[in-house]
Structure formats: structure tokens, C-alpha cells
Amino acid sequence: MKKWIILLILVGILGNAFLVKGPFLWDDEFFIVENPNIRQIHFKDYFLKPHWLETGFAMGFRGFYRPLVSLSFAVDYQLYKLDSRGYHLTNIFFHILASILLFLVLLEIGFTESQSFLASAIFSSAATLREAVAWISARGDIFALFFMLLSFYLIMKRKDLWAILVFPFALFSKEMSVVFPFFLMVYFYYKREKFNRVLPFLVLDILFLILRSQFTSSRILSTYSIPILITRTFKALGFYFVQGVFPFTGRVFLSPMTVYTKWWFYIPAALFIMLVAAFVFKRTSKVFLLSAMSFILLLPSLAVVWIEIPHTVAFRFGYIPAAFLVPISVLLLSSREILKKVVLPVFLAGAIVNSNIVNLYWTSSSLFWEKTHLDAPEDPYFAIRLAGVYIQKGRVKDAESLLQGYLDRTNSYTPVILHILALIEESRGNLRKAEALLTNSIFLSREFEKWEMKTYGELVYDLSSHYIALSRILRKQGRIEDAEKLMKSGFSSYGKNPDFRDEYAIVLGLAGKCENAIKIASKRRESVLEICALWKKKDLYSRAKIMLYRNQFEKAKELCSSIKENIKREKCLSETEERMKRMGLLRQNTK
């Protein structure tokens, strides 16, 4: 057995080690990079508050309760700070451990050592499961599977007390672990045992759900009609079955519409249902047992189809059930000697090669966003992220052209697209155009904010960034009073945001309202104090400096010219000219 485990570890390294090079991607920015709650280990907070606590994307969202994942991020931070390699190592380590546990579980079910190895090795390297392993934020799936497999293995070994003690770790990793007691029922039915051993796990389920309800809020059911949701559920079932038994793909991201628009997913769905139904009548078949087990594990992923979220079908949602779908392929391919000796090794080698091709896209931000946009061109979010990559590379025109193509489809991402286009215009010095785009962005954001509050019952959209950018544009135009009016209108909603407070403090300082400015300033307090110190002075030079900060250059020049001291006057005019150069205005005025 030891040699198989050693081989399994080697395969796990071959199929996953490349991922260590990956950066923080997507939600990693919110959960880790910008999350102050993992800088120190706040053990109590992780268990008494929702998973997205204090993350920039949360904005009141309380839908996840995954304290063990939050704790693991905090532990990783103590070890690696913001070095993404360490976080990836944790994911890979637990993924390989899960594959070893799967090997042991399959042996207990009755697989041969070679069959158990091949199934676990293919699972470890499956390209369709890259999202769960490569994406740090998807760690909950890996943890949940690891602890469920460990608890299941202990049950098989008749160590029920230890299994009961381990199971809460799965629940605290991801909510979908609540199906584990029903998974055990399938196994006990196969073994012709009574279900009384399941009772402690059901009690833990109930206690967990009660606890979770105290700290989270439920998702809202989809607004689609029941017939549409039923057909989508069947198609999703077919997709996850295919993903498990044939884990090959060229995609990094799966758009739900890729599944929902394909009628042929009904075929594998029907086959899957027949295999599960057959288990009721022929419980001795390992294929039927594995089908029933994976079906139970899939139920939470199918429930996601009925929830109002963008990504109702995803590769990561098939990670846990795939642990018992992959072995079905191995069993079927072991039925003939030539399949066992030729096809299965090729199957494994192909899985390793395929996984590393997909891994490549996860090791670079630019490659990742280019590929996800290619995989789901209909999704504006990926276009926005790719535009950001283009801008970083200096390909501003490419970014602008890409985003312009999405403006005719008004949706909740439109304000963000307008915001980015405004920043591009700002960089070109087209302040009026930038102002118009940001004004439209704020208008649309308010409309979507109303829609989201009506649909979800909670505010999850942040308008503050649009206000900050528009205020900056107005300041550049010397329109301090307009900027003040804008920031005042948004203060009641976004006054808790430090960046919003700082922008408002600068505007108030420039308006001469120093007492309020100093009171609300945060990170930019020194700048506010500097501006306010100039207001206290009554000399012409100080007043001219204030006009410079206000970008009111004609007034600044007039005040500079009124200074009697030659040296000070020349210095004042020189500073005015220098600031105008930085603003890109001197050449325009000369013309």
C-alpha cells in the first residue's frame, strides 16, 4: 500500500505543483489581500460572524459561514504574509491529502489497489477540478471533502466517535457538507446496516444550521420560472456527471449559459438518474453505489441553480461529487484487460497533461483574465478585468475598444465600465468627457442599487468609488463648490468609507471649512492640515497657494502678480506654471 501512496503523492505534485506560481486572483483580493480581519487571528470572530466579514466586497452580504476557511487564511497570513505561494501550498497540500483519503476509502469499498490508485490519481489531476484547487478562495471545497472523507474512513473502520468529532470540521469548511449524513445512509444501505449510526451526524447538522442562521442571511430564490429552473437543474446534473466521469477540459471558467444552452446534457442526466435508481434494486453494484453517493453530494450544487447569483453552475461545485464519479470511469475501464493496461494509463497521463495546460492560465493574472474572457465573452465582468490588464500594459486603446462593446447591454456592470472609460478620458486630459461618464455612472448605479435592494433585500453595491472619482475630476477643473455639493450628498451613505472621508476632507479643506475637514480626515490628514494652515495665513502667497490647490490658476496668477517682493513673486509664478504643467494645462493655455 505504501508504494501506491508514494506514487499518489508524486502524481499530485506533477499535476498541481505548477500552481504554486499563481498570484492572488478574483475573490482572493477581497478575502486575503484587502481583508484586515486576517492580519491577526480573531478566532472568536470567525465562528461568530459571516465569512466575508470586513472584506471590501462584502458591503453587508452575509451569505457564507465558513469559519475554518477564514481561520486558515489568518494562519497562512501569519506564515506567508501576502506571498501567494504559501496559500497555494496549503490548497495543494490538502488536495493531495484528500486524494490519499479517497484511495483508502475506495480500498474499503472493495476496489483493488491499482483501481484505487488510478481513480485517486485521476481525481488529483483532473483539469475540470482546477478551479477548486488553483483558486485560493475556493479552499472550502477542498477542506470540506478532506474532512468528509476522513470522517467516512473512520466510520468504515468502526471508529464512530472520532468520525463524529471530525465531521464539524467539514461543516465549518463549507455548507454543502450538510448532506454527509444522507451520504452515510447510502453506504449503510449498501452494507445492509441500520441507519442508527447516522443519528449523531443528523444532530450535528441541525445544530450547525441553527448556529449558521444566527450569523448569516439566506440567499433569495431565482426570479426565473419553475419550469426553466427544473430544466436547468437537469442540465446541470448532466454536466456535473460528465465533468466527473470524463474530467478533461480546455476551459478555465465555465459560464452557466454554456451548460443551459446545450440540450444534450439531458442525456448524461438521464443516465445518471437511472444509475442512482438502479442502486435501490441492486445495492451490490459498486457503480450504482458510487452513482448514489455522488448524487447525494451533488444536491447542494444543484440547489445553487435555484439561487439568484451569477454563477449557478461552476467547475468548483463539481469538485466534491467528482471524488466518487471518477472511480466509475476507472471501474468501467477495468472491465477489459486491454482497457485496463492501455487506456487507463493513457487516461491518467492525459489528465496530468491536461491539468498542467489549464494550470498555466492560473499562474498569470493577464493569462487568466484573457482566458476567462475568451471562455465567457458574454460576461462583462471578465471584459472589465481584461481591460484592466490592457491598461497596465499600456494598451489603453485596446481596453477602450473592448469596453465600448459592452455599453449597449445595460446591466449592473455598466457603471463600472463607464467609470473605467472616465479614467481613460481623465488620463488624456478630457475632463469634461470624464465628468459626463462618471455622472452617468452614478445615475445608473443608483438605479441598480434600487433594483438590488428590491431583489436581494440587502445593499451589496458600492457607489463610493464613483463619487470619489467624480469629485477628483471636479477639483481638477477648479470646481470646488460642485465637488463639495457632490460629496455632501453621498456622505450619509458612504461616510464610513475612509477613502470617501479623505476625499471629502480635502474638498472641505479647499473650501476653507477646516474644522469639519480635520474632523473627518483619515489617511490624508497631513494634507488637510497643510491646506488649513494656508487658510490661517493672510498673506498673498498663501492665498495663491490655496488657489493652486483648488486648480484655479487665473486667480493664482493674479494673486502671485500682486506680491511686491520680487523673489517671492517669481517663486509663486514658477510654482503656478509647474503645477499647470503637471496638470497638462500649460500647453493648452499657450495655444
pLDDT in tens, 148-177: 999 999 999 999 999 999 999 999 999 999
For 222-258, letters b (16+ CB in 10 Å) and e give: beeeeeebebbbbbbbbbbbbbbbebbbebbbbbbeb
Q: What percent of the chain has pLDDT over 70?
A: 93
Please give the backbone phi and psi of residue 52, each rounded to the nearest 5 degrees, phi first: -90, 25
One DSSP character per residue, 45-106 reads: HHHHS-TTTT-TTTTT------HHHHHHHHHHHHHHTT-HHHHHHHHHHHHHHHHHHHHHHH
Is 524 among the domain residues?
Answer: no
Tell me, what's the pLDDT at 31?
A: 84
Mean pLDDT within 124-149: 95
pLDDT in tens, 523-575: 899 999 999 999 998 889 999 999 988 999 999 889 999 988 888 889 899 98
Instruction: Answer yes or no: is pLDDT of 447 > 80.
Output: no
Mean pLDDT within 358-379: 93
Query: Do residues 419 and 398 lie in contact, with contact meaning Cβ atoms separated by under 8 Å?
Result: no
Mean pLDDT of the chain: 89
pLDDT grade for 581, boundaries at 50, 70 and 90: confident
Instruction: Answer yes or no: is pLDDT of 60 > 50.
Output: no
> Rounded distance, CA 39 to CA 33, Å?
10
DSSP H helices in 82-225: 84-109, 113-125, 130-134, 139-156, 160-171, 180-190, 199-215
Is 431 among the domain residues?
Answer: no
Instruction: Answer yes or no: is pLDDT of 58 > 70.
Output: no
Instruction: Answer yes or no: is pLDDT of 247 > 60.
Output: yes
Tell me, what's the pLDDT at 374?
A: 94
pLDDT grade for 57, boundaries at 50, 70 and 90: very low
pLDDT grade for 392, boundaries at 50, 70 and 90: confident
pLDDT grade for 320, boundaries at 50, 70 and 90: very high
pLDDT grade for 342, boundaries at 50, 70 and 90: confident
Instruction: Answer yes or no: is pLDDT of 590 > 70.
Output: no
Nearest alpha-carbon partner for 244 in 290, 284, 299: 290
Give the number of domains in the chain.
2
Least confident range from 134-148, 331-345, 498-512: namely: 331-345
Domain boundary among 365, 388, 407: 365
pLDDT in tens, 279-297: 998 888 999 999 999 999 9
Instruction: Answer yes or no: is pLDDT of 224 > 70.
Output: yes
> Rounded distance, CA 73 to CA 247, Å?
29
Least confident range from 250-264, 407-421, 479-493, 522-536: namely: 407-421
Nearest alpha-carbon partner for 28 in 67, 92, 77, 78: 77
In the chain, count of helices (H) and strands (E)?
A: 32, 0
Least confident range from 41-50, 260-269, 362-371: namely: 41-50
Is 335 among the domain residues?
Answer: yes
Mean pLDDT within 430-449: 84
Please give the backbone phi and psi of residue 260, each rounded to the nearest 5 degrees, phi first: -65, -25
* Bridge partner residues of 120 (DSSP): none
> Rounded distance, CA 191 to CA 300, Å?
25
Query: Do residues 551 and 570 lie in contact, with contact meaning Cβ atoms separated by under 8 Å?
Result: no
> Rounded distance, CA 445 to CA 451, Å?
10
Least confident range from 292-306, 394-408, 446-460: namely: 446-460
For the chain, the C-alpha Rg in angstroms (whole number) is: 29
pLDDT in tens, 493-532: 888 888 899 999 999 999 999 999 999 998 899 999 999 9
Tell me, what's the pLDDT at 462?
A: 62
Domain that holds residue 588: 539-591
pLDDT in tens, 475-498: 999 999 999 999 999 888 888 888
pLDDT grade for 461, boundaries at 50, 70 and 90: very low
Q: Is 221 helix (H, G, I), strand (E, B) or coil?
A: strand
Nearest alpha-carbon partner for 48 in 176, 211, 191, 254: 211
> Rounded distance, CA 392 to CA 388, Å?
6
Which residues, including other chains, have CB under 8 Å from residue 547's CB and lie 6 or more apart? 553, 555, 556, 559
Instruction: Answer yes or no: is pLDDT of 585 > 80.
Output: no
Q: Is 137 helix (H, G, I), strand (E, B) or coil?
A: helix
> Rounded distance, CA 395 to CA 65, Å?
40
Instruction: Answer yes or no: is pLDDT of 198 > 70.
Output: yes
Mean pLDDT within 392-406: 91
Is 488 among the domain residues?
Answer: no
Is 485 among the domain residues?
Answer: no
| Choice between 47 and 370, residue whose per-residue pLDDT is larger | 370
pLDDT in tens, 67-99: 999 899 999 999 999 999 999 999 999 999 999
Instruction: Answer yes or no: is pLDDT of 59 > 50.
Output: no
Q: Which long-range contacts (CB under 8 A, 24 or more apart) does 278-284 make?
A: 279/186, 279/190, 283/189, 283/190, 283/192, 284/190
Query: Do residues 31 and 137 lie in contact, with contact meaning Cβ atoms separated by under 8 Å?
Result: yes
Mean pLDDT within 200-210: 95
Domain boundary among 330, 365, 400: 365
Instruction: Answer yes or no: is pLDDT of 240 > 50.
Output: yes
For 497-510, letters b (16+ CB in 10 Å) and e give: beebbbbbbbbbbb
Is 258 among the domain residues?
Answer: yes
Is 87 among the domain residues?
Answer: yes
pLDDT grade for 409, boundaries at 50, 70 and 90: low
Domain boundary among 311, 335, 365: 365
> For the purposes of burial, counting CB atoms within 10 Å of the CB of 151, is it exposed (0-12), middle (13-18) or buried (19 or more)?
buried
Which residues, including other chains, have CB under 8 Å from residue 55's CB and lie 6 or more apart? 30, 31, 34, 35, 37
Query: Do residues 544 and 560 lie in contact, with contact meaning Cβ atoms separated by under 8 Å?
Result: yes
Is 183 among the domain residues?
Answer: yes
